[in-house]
A and B are shown apart, each in its own frame.
Chain A
Amino acid sequence: MSTLRTNALEGVDAKNSITIVAGAGNVTTTNVEQGLTKAWADFSTSSGNSINGSFNIGSITDIGTGDVYLNYTNNMNDVHYSGQANATAATLHFVDDQATNRQRCRAFSDFSTEADGAHRYFLCAGDLA
């Protein structure tokens, strides 16, 4: 067994692109940078907004009941990334109004009523700036 110890990884040909063998047949490669989640969060909108746990989320902006912007620490390259939302004790949950510096997350208790909660979840995959 070998262990590589390093603080940072960069591609040689392009510093933002490293391939790794990942296929079940030990042949197919995938891209490390593209495969990494660029932000995730477990946040609360109850009793004010707070972050329970997160990566690359700098702050929360309150828009209304069950409705927030999650503001990135390091921005995305463009608005064409995959944002996903989920929530406990909610009927509907979705993302909206995507921007390079933040993502809007909304949760509803029914089709028309936005609702706060102690655990709202978010995930972002795409290209970093």
Chain B
Amino acid sequence: MATLKTNTLTGTSTAGSIAVTGEGNSTTTNLQQGLAKAWVFGGTDASLTDNFNIASGTDNGTGDYSYAITNDMANANYSILGTASNAVANDPVISCNPSNDVTATGSYRLQIGLTGQGTDNFAQADKVHYSAIHGDLA
């Protein structure tokens, strides 16, 4: 076993690109592309229980939260995943949807709701929620 100690990794040809051998030993993946660029454990009022690269949360209303990113993304075309905690036994399926067309390089918005209820089968509700984004940093 060998141990390399360093504080920073930088690509040689391209600073933001380092290849890593994949699990099957037959191909490589990209270190920078594979890293989550931000994640958040958000409270029912958008409070930051824990996070990485999230500067602040905003409570826009019931089940409606925005998060400001500390180090911005390069563009608004990044992947947003999320889910939410639902402690109510008989609530229907919960859904954590990125809000339409308001994703920006420096922020994104989530709407938490219960499916099978309300207009269009989606009733927004305040829930503890979790989210991560993957894409290109600025």
Contact = CB atoms under 8 A, between A and B. Distances in A.
A37 B33 contact: yes
Interface string A1-23: 11111111111110110100000
Interface string A111-128: 100000111011100011
Given A4-B10, A6-B9, A128 B23 contact: yes
Interface of A: 1-13, 15-16, 18, 32-38, 40-42, 52-53, 55-56, 74, 77, 84, 86-93, 109-111, 117-119, 121-123, 127-129
Given A7-B13, A88-B97, A90-B97, 18 more contacts: A1-B8, A2-B8, A3-B8, A4-B8, A8-B20, A12-B1, A13-B1, A34-B23, A36-B31, A36-B35, A53-B75, A55-B33, A74-B29, A87-B98, A110-B121, A121-B79, A128-B23, A129-B24
B81 A9 contact: no
A87 B80 CA distance: 8
Nearest to A44: B77
B34 interface: yes
A55 B12 contact: no
A7 B17 contact: yes
A15 B21 contact: yes
Given A4-B8, A110-B120, A88 B98 contact: yes
B96 interface: yes
B27 interface: yes
Interface in B99-118: 99-101, 103, 115-116
B95 A84 contact: no
A54 B23 CA distance: 21
A6 B18 contact: yes
Contact of B134 (A37, A127, A129): A37
B131 to A, nearest CB: 9
Nearest to B9: A4
A37 B2 CA distance: 25
B60 interface: no
A56 B11 CA distance: 19
A122 to B, nearest CB: 6
B136 interface: yes
Contacts of B30: 55
B1 A4 contact: no
A28 to B, nearest CB: 15
